[in-house]
């Protein structure tokens, strides 16, 4: 059984802990809310598959969940990337979401601090993230935490499995 590391702060009742496979259902709900907020296409089958892999394979990354009164109210996902520019392993915050009615209370800062502490302990020297260019509040939040905008732009290309060849007909 995986140990659950818990961080408690008396300033508010939220508890931040590492997510476990049994948290999948709540995580999918938070991912759906985040994707809707940030206008990202949500495919539940794909999300469930990716989260299951991430929760079961620590080599891929870590997931944190914040609960208040037992209810999941925020989450963050950190994955790993290898980059010569950043001296090897870097952390990439691929998802970071706090439900609207829990924002402005320091929960996001505490969630990001948990990621920072983890990276420091694992000797990961850089944390990178993406933020929607329309989300000025998030950009301000990240700048206050020490993140800086890079001069690069993000580009992506989906890689889909090749179609199966048509069956050969026998004559």
Q: Over the stretch 79-124, which tens digit does the pLDDT of each residue have?
A: 999 999 888 899 999 999 999 999 999 999 999 999 999 999 999 9
Provide the sign of the torsion angle of the four alpha carbons 61, 137, 116, 66, taken in this order.
Answer: negative
Q: Is residue 133 part of a domain?
A: yes
Cα–Cα distance measured from residue 140 to residue 44, given in angstroms and rounded to the nearest whole number:
30
Q: Is residue 94 part of a domain?
A: yes
Question: The CATH number of the domain where 65 resides is what?
Answer: 3.40.630.30
Q: Over the stretch 44-70, which tens digit does the pLDDT of each residue have?
A: 999 999 999 999 999 999 999 999 999
Look up residue 74 and give its DSSP letter.
Answer: E
Q: Is residue 73 part of a domain?
A: yes
Provide the pLDDT for residue 167.
77
Q: Is residue 159 part of a domain?
A: no
Q: Is residue 22 part of a domain?
A: yes
How sure is the predictor about 160, in pLDDT bands with cuts at 50, 70 and 90? confident
How sure is the predictor about 12, in pLDDT bands with cuts at 50, 70 and 90? low
CB-CB contact of 66 with 74 (8 Å): yes
Residue 6: its H or E element: strand 6-8
How sure is the predictor about 171, in pLDDT bands with cuts at 50, 70 and 90? low
- Domain tally, the chain: 1
Report whether pLDDT(42) > 50.
yes
Q: Is residue 129 part of a domain?
A: yes
Q: Is residue 166 part of a domain?
A: no
Q: Is residue 150 part of a domain?
A: no
Helices and strands of the chain, counted as H and E runs: 4, 6
- For 19-164, list the strands marked E by DSSP: 61-68, 71-83, 88-98, 127-129
User: Which residues form the domain of 20?
Assistant: 6-144
């Amino acid at each position: 059984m995986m140990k659950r590391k818990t961080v408690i702060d008396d300033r508010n009742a939220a508890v931040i802990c590492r997510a476990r496979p049994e948290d999948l259902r709540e995580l999918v709900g938070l991912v759906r809310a985040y994707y809707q907020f940030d206008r990202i296409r949500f495919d539940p089958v794909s999300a469930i598959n990716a989260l299951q892999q991430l929760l079961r394979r620590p080599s891929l990354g870590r997931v944190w969940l914040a609960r208040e009164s037992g209810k999941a109210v925020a989450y963050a996902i950190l994955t790993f990337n290898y980059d010569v520019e950043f001296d090897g392993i870097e952390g990439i915050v691929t998802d970071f979401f706090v439900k609207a009615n829990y924002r402005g209370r320091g929960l996001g800062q505490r969630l990001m601090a948990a990621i920072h502490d983890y990276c420091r302990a694992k000797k990961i020297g850089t944390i990178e993230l993406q933020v929607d260019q329309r989300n000025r509040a998030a950009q301000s939040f990240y700048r206050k935490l020490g993140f800086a905008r890079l001069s690069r732009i993000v580009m992506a290309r989906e890689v889909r499995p090749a179609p199966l060849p048509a069956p050969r007909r026998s004559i």
